[in-house]
């Protein structure tokens, strides 16, 4: 008999007590496990730790020791190079607009960075499945090669199509592979039941994951479109996805255009170059504390608050703000609130996904749909700037209103679950 079944003392105390619920004997996971035990199919070492040996065994995760924290360190490095670069897209937009692509409109230029951000989120549907089958090794090796090659090609590009191929295609696909490998690796090593600790560790290091993404990383169950389609038949899930799309529609606009807008106001170059670092630095704090508060007062409640704050500071500070102090204040407050959204989104998606076995699939589907907001938001905003003769007022209004709309839809998603009881923890 497997030693893991000899005593319940070895079981993670925070995992469900009924282990048969974690892995059903009728699931595809059990079918794959039988093949493994018979010797016909053996999963690669990278994912053996996340694969149960029998239908009655709860998946065990190693949450201590050097190996587990090496995963976190490696994930931090991966996120720093991939999603960290996506948070600095404004630098590329400014460089292109003032340099080699100055003859192109802001809308046309922003397609390069928009596709870059979109691919990192959208391709999680496919790279997550590759991780399930083969582990992170091939994703990290091939993704790193593609990413580095793409960045090197940017330095020698001169025409628009060359920049697009290098950054929006080659580097983007490579960064998406590395990004999703880092997320899934961290998720496979840490218990899905320890949301607060995982969120604090993950958000502090820039790893966007929570219990919602862990299902995709650790489940051997075959991908089923039925789980995706079924999710879009449930009103709370649909409203959450719509709200996420609306927020994605506006959240990347300050990251893309705040440098150009600040220069247009005539602000000091020495101040302008620090705006994006300020947003990204304070967003780390914004990812930690909302995750802690969410465990106490409810995930949807905190999500509504951080989205409302993003809308308020955009409409109330960014639009009228013309001074250095106002722009810096906006960068700080927007970084705090937008960081909270990034931290909480997988958790609220998981909350409206009742089946644990479907969390990974539904989270991937929700992010895939929401990613089209990041794909189209910046080009639309750039077209608005061009239509207004270079004025950023329309862009700022579009940004604030789309985020405000996401607040209203999140409120509706909360309402369908518990009604409109203000003090209810949701």
The band of 420, judged by pLDDT with boundaries at 50, 70 and 90, is: confident
Return the higher-pLDDT residue of 33 and 301: 301
pLDDT the model gives residue 67: 73
| Mean pLDDT value across the chain | 77
CA distance between the termini of the chain? 43
Calpha distance 29→224 (Å, rounded): 13
Burial of 365 (0-12, 13-18, 19+ CB in 10 A): buried
0.75 cut: is pTM over it? no
**Rg, Å, the chain Cα set:** 22
Give the residue-averaged pLDDT of 225-236: 62
Tell me which residue of 414, 411, 401 sits closest to 311, measured CA to CA.
401
168-193 tens-digit pLDDT: 999 999 998 998 888 777 666 655 44
- Confidence at residue 226, expressed as pLDDT on a 0 to 100 scale: 52
Residue 300: name the closest of 333, 342, 345 by CA.
Answer: 345
Mean pLDDT value of segment 57-63 = 47
Locate 348 and state its tokens.
């609220």
Q: What is the DSSP track for 236-279?
A: HHHHHHHHHHHHHHHHHHHHHHHHHHHHHTT--HHHHTTHHHHH
Rounded CA-CA distance 355/19 in Å is 15
Q: Is the pLDDT of residue 309 over 80?
A: yes
Q: Mean pLDDT throughout 348-357?
A: 75
Domains and CATH numbers, the chain: 65-418 (1.20.1250.20)
Predicted local distance difference test score (pLDDT) of residue 74: 83
Q: What is the pLDDT of residues 331-349, one digit of tens each?
A: 999 999 988 888 788 888 8
pLDDT at 157: 93
- The Cα 146–Cα 217 span in angstroms is 23
Distance CA 418, CA 350 (A): 16
Query: Residue 326's pLDDT band (boundaries 50, 70, 90)?
Result: very high
Most confidently modeled of 34-38, 53-57, 384-388? 384-388
Residues 6+ away with beta carbon under 8 Å from 23: 29, 30, 33, 52, 55, 56, 57, 58, 59
| pLDDT for residue 355 | 66
Alpha helices in 298-392 (DSSP H): 299-313, 324-351, 359-387
Q: Which residue has the higher pLDDT, 80 or 216?
A: 80
Q: Please tell me the distance from the alpha carbon of residue 179 to that of residue 174, in angstroms, as a whole number.
A: 9
Q: What's the pLDDT tens digit per position in 266-297? A: 888 888 888 988 988 888 888 888 888 888 89
Q: Which long-range contacts (CB under 8 A, 24 or more apart) does 189-192 make?
A: 189/49, 189/61, 189/62, 189/63, 189/67, 189/68, 189/71, 190/61, 190/63, 190/68, 190/214, 191/12, 191/14, 191/15, 191/61, 191/63, 192/218, 192/356
Q: Tokens in use for 116?
A: 């870059």
CA–CA separation, 144 vs 111, rounded Å? Answer: 23
- What would the pLDDT profile of 116-165 be if each residue is shown by its tens digit? 989 888 887 788 778 878 888 899 999 999 999 999 999 899 999 999 99
Report the 10 Å Cβ neighbour count for 222. 12
Q: Which residue shows structure tokens 């909302």?
A: 290
pLDDT tier, 231 (very low <50, low <70, confident <90, very high otherwise): low
**C-alpha to C-alpha distances, 210 to 184, 216, 303, 307, 358, nearest whole angstrom:** 10, 11, 15, 19, 14
Contact 260, 388 (CB under 8 A): no
For residue 358, what pLDDT band results from cuts at 50, 70 and 90?
low
């Amino acid at each position: 008999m497997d030693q893991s079944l000899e005593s319940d003392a070895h079981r993670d105390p925070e995992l469900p007590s009924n282990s048969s619920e974690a892995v059903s004997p009728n699931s595809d996971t059990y079918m794959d496990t039988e093949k493994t035990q018979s010797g016909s199919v053996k999963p690669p070492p990278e994912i053996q730790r996340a694969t149960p040996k029998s239908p009655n065994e709860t998946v065990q995760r190693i949450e201590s020791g050097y190996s587990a924290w090496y995963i976190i360190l490696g994930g931090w490095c991966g996120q720093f190079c991939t999603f960290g670069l996506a948070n600095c897209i404004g630098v590329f937009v400014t460089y292109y607009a003032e340099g080699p692509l100055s003859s192109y409109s802001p809308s046309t230029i922003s397609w390069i960075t928009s596709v870059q951000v979109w691919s990192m989120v959208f391709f999680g549907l496919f790279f997550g499945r590759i991780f399930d089958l083969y582990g992170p090794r091939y994703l990290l090796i091939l993704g790193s090669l593609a990413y580095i090659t793409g960045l090197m090609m940017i330095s020698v590009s001169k025409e628009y199509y060359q920049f697009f191929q290098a950054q929006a295609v080659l580097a983007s696909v490579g960064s998406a592979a590395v990004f999703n490998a880092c997320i899934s690796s961290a998720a496979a090593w840490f218990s899905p039941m320890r949301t607060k600790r995982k969120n604090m560790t993950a958000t502090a290091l820039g790893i966007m994951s929570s219990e919602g993404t862990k299902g995709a990383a650790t489940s051997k169950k075959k991908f089923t479109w039925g789980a995706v389609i079924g999710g879009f038949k449930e009103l709370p899930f649909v409203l959450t996805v719509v709200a996420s799309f609306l927020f994605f529609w506006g959240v990347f606009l300050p990251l893309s255009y705040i440098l150009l807008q600040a220069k247009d106001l005539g602000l000091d170059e020495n101040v302008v170059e620090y705006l994006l670092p300020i947003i990204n630095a304070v967003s780390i704090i914004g990812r930690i504390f909302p995750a802690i508060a969410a465990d106490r007062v409810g995930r949807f409640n905190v999500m509504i608050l951080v989205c409302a704050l993003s809308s308020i500071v955009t409409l109330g500070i960014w639009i009228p703000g013309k001074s250095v102090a106002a722009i810096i204040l906006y960068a700080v407050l927007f970084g705090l609130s937008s960081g909270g959204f990034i931290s909480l989104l997988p958790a609220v998606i998981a909350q409206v996904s009742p089946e644990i076995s479907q969390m990974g699939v539904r989270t991937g589907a929700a992010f895939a749909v929401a990613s089209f907001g990041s794909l189209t938001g910046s080009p639309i905003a750039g077209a608005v700037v061009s239509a207004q003769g270079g004025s950023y007022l329309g862009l700022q209004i579009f940004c604030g209103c789309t985020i405000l709309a996401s607040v209203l839809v999140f409120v509706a998603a909360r309402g369908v679950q518990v009604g409109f009881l203000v003090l209810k923890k949701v």
